[in-house]
Amino acid sequence: MLPEIEPSEHILTSDGFLELQMLPESMIIVGGSVIGVEFATFLAELGVKVTLIEMMEQILPLEDEDASSLLKQELTRLGVTIHTSATLQRIHETADSVQIVATRQGQDFHLTAAYALICTGRRPRLHVEELNRLGIRYNPKESLSMKT
């Protein structure tokens, strides 16, 4: 989660989203990497009004620029509103919605939706002592490997 944001009834992680009992009418997705784009595609295909916010210059910022551009076109065709180079400033939950203030090019803009889905990355939940006991070396900048 982003600093100062806690999951709640209308502010969700991917885990919280999967616990929803009904499809939401609208969703703001914060984070335009792989997970955010997957959820945006899925929800838009089901008719949910989706807004995607990404702080980098393009969605899928770690991927090929042509692939990013193609997916942006497809998401736009599906009705997804995309804000790139946008920074989340505030998020406020009401009884039945989420209100977000974000900034792009020095200008604030306001968004409202039934839910916000925070897709800003996942970190592994590792127990280093257990990994050591099993002979598995862990470095957060590398993949897991067996000690030799």
pLDDT of residue 5: 74
Q: Which residues of the chain have pLDDT under 70?
A: 1-3, 121-125, 140-148
Q: Is the pTM of this model over 0.85?
A: no
Q: Find the largest Cα–Cα distance for the chain.
A: 55
Phi, psi of 33 (to 5 degrees): -85, -165
pLDDT of residue 128: 75
pLDDT of residue 143: 53
- CA 43 to mean position of chain CA atoms: 13
Q: All domains of the chain, ordered by start, with CATH?
A: 11-146 (3.50.50.60)
Residue 133: CB atoms within 10 A of its CB come to 9
Strand partners, 73: none
67 sits in which H/E element: helix 65-77
